[in-house]
Amino acid sequence: MTAPADGRTADTDALSPVRAGLLRAAHAEAEALRNRAEQEAAALLDQARAEARDLLDEARRQGEADGADAARDVLVRARRAARSLTLAARREAYRELRRAAAERVGALRGTEDYASLRAWLEQRARALLGPAADVAEHADGGVVARAPGRRVDLSLTALADRATDRVGGEVRTLWEP
């Protein structure tokens, strides 16, 4: 069998529905996570803004007594606190996205299609490392292959992490307006 010019094989095409389903599920999960993250971020921002307003009111009172420098210091602290809360919400949203993606991909082990997926992953590992590569089942599903001086991790967890990493800049849409 000849491989298409883009390097894909018939096995890859056979997995297209599985990949498409995973992508749809991942996008739906990402959308839900994005919505939840937006709500959490909005709540955190509202709280931070309320705290900032309280701090700003206090700064104004101090400013009348102590001058503009004291007010500026309080405002800077409020902005830093708000920024810190925003960044914490972003980190948590990203961690949750990675966890959910790994969980969804890990659920493939319980499907009828897992045997063919695992066989394809083993074939892919041998294509990358050679036919003599030592291929073993990974505890989280998928395979890990070794050849002298080389190792390939095609575990379901690693594949989910790579997919999340490939989303790259799109992840920022979870917390940007």
| Amino acid 63: pLDDT | 65
C-alpha 57 chain-centroid distance: 39
State the alpha helices, DSSP H only, in 15-155. 16-66, 68-106, 114-129
| Amino acid 24: pLDDT | 79
- Residue segments in the chain with a per-residue pLDDT below the cut of 70: 1-12, 30, 33, 37, 44, 48, 63, 168, 172, 174-177
The domain spans of the chain are 12-174
